[in-house]
Amino acid sequence: MPYEHPRDGTPETGSAPRRAPSMLHRLAAERATGAFTRAAGTLFLVDGEVVHAESGAATGLELLLTRCCPLSQADWEAALSRAAREGGVAQHLVACGLVPAGVLDLCRRTALYDAAFFVLATGGGAGRFRRGVRDRLGVPRGLPPTAVERETARRLALLDRIWPDARVDVLPPVRTAPVAPTVPGRQLPILRLADGARTATDIARILGRPTFHLLVELRRLAAGGLVVPALPAGPEPHGRQPPPAPAHPPPQEASPAQAPQQETTAGGGPSAAVAPGHEFPDPDVALLRRLRDALEAW
């Protein structure tokens, strides 16, 4: 079952990030309906609320549903065909007994936050809005854009607290050694698939997990020295370009109270931390693992 947020001890609430996308705020104030699109994907609005999100970097709703429900790909395609004629994939799945309403709502919100993270993160470029465009899911109520932006900022801050190197998010991870039997069970499948060819998005889809939650585990593996990003052979995928970094060792994990406030850029997304350069000293693995275990137990 997909989960809404990783357990990191970070408060669920907080102030909305500053200088968030002005167009999105204006559309919310106008109670607009349509599609807000940036380079990494699209947010669908109904009456100014975000009801659905799609991104090529995120794990789609259908994969989350087929992992936790007896829903086949044929059932999903049939629901999409029906929605093209009558609208409302969500209502059809529940009415036919294919997906319980509670499971659908949980998976829908998980997929929404997962895709919105990539749409609103730094590097997405300017946005454009197509009025009247509807998504196929057909959910009447959604989330305020400020709530979606706040969650995106929280997630960026969490990733940078775990390991401040965004390259592992966009470059295929590769194991530094054979699979270690001592890593947590949830990380073993990720290590086995970290072959230097598959990206985080590829691994998340194979495992049927939200991509952001896969990034959390990849950053933890990177902090433990178990994976490194493969050298790029061309343009980095999904538009998240890690900035050049200082040649200093990365800081130790900070507590939630000490984490720096994340802001959004003028282009629309919360700003990512500066990533380390291509060479940096080996981390204190024992210390990082103790910090990780303490956070997970909190």
Instruction: Name which of 36-50, 169-183, 218-232 the model is least confident about.
Output: 169-183
State yes or no: pLDDT of 184 exceeds 50: yes
Neighbour tally for 9: CB within 10 Å:
13
Give mean pLDDT, residues 36-51.
94
Give mean pLDDT, residues 125-153.
88
CB 111 within 8 A of CB 121: no
Q: pLDDT at position 292, please?
A: 61
The span from the first CA to the last CA of the chain, in angstroms, equals 22
Strand, coil or helix: 111 = helix
Alpha carbon of 45 to those of 7, 85, 109: distances in Å?
29, 21, 14
| DSSP category for residue 259 | S
Q: pLDDT at position 286, please?
A: 63
Instruction: Name which of 107-116, 171-180, 236-245, 248-257 the model is least confident about.
Output: 248-257
State yes or no: pLDDT of 29 exceeds 80: yes
Chain CA centroid to CA 157, Å:
12
Q: pLDDT at position 124, please?
A: 64
250-292 pLDDT per residue, tens: 444 333 333 333 333 334 444 333 344 444 455 566 666 666 6
Sheet containing 34-38: which strands, arranged edge to edge?
Answer: 49-55, 41-46, 34-38, 128-131
Q: What does pTM read for this prediction?
A: 0.70
Instruction: Report the half-sphere exposure of 290 (CA within 13 A, side-chain side).
Output: 6
82-117 pLDDT per residue, tens: 766 666 888 888 888 888 888 989 999 999 999 999
Q: pLDDT at position 211, please?
A: 96
Answer with the residue of higher pLDDT: 232 or 212.
212
Give mean pLDDT, residues 201-222.
95
State yes or no: pLDDT of 236 exceeds 80: no
Beta-carbon contacts of 74 under 8 Å, excluding residues fewer than 6 positions away, are none
Q: pLDDT at position 85, please?
A: 64
Amino acid identity for residue 159 in this structure: L
Q: pLDDT at position 41, please?
A: 93
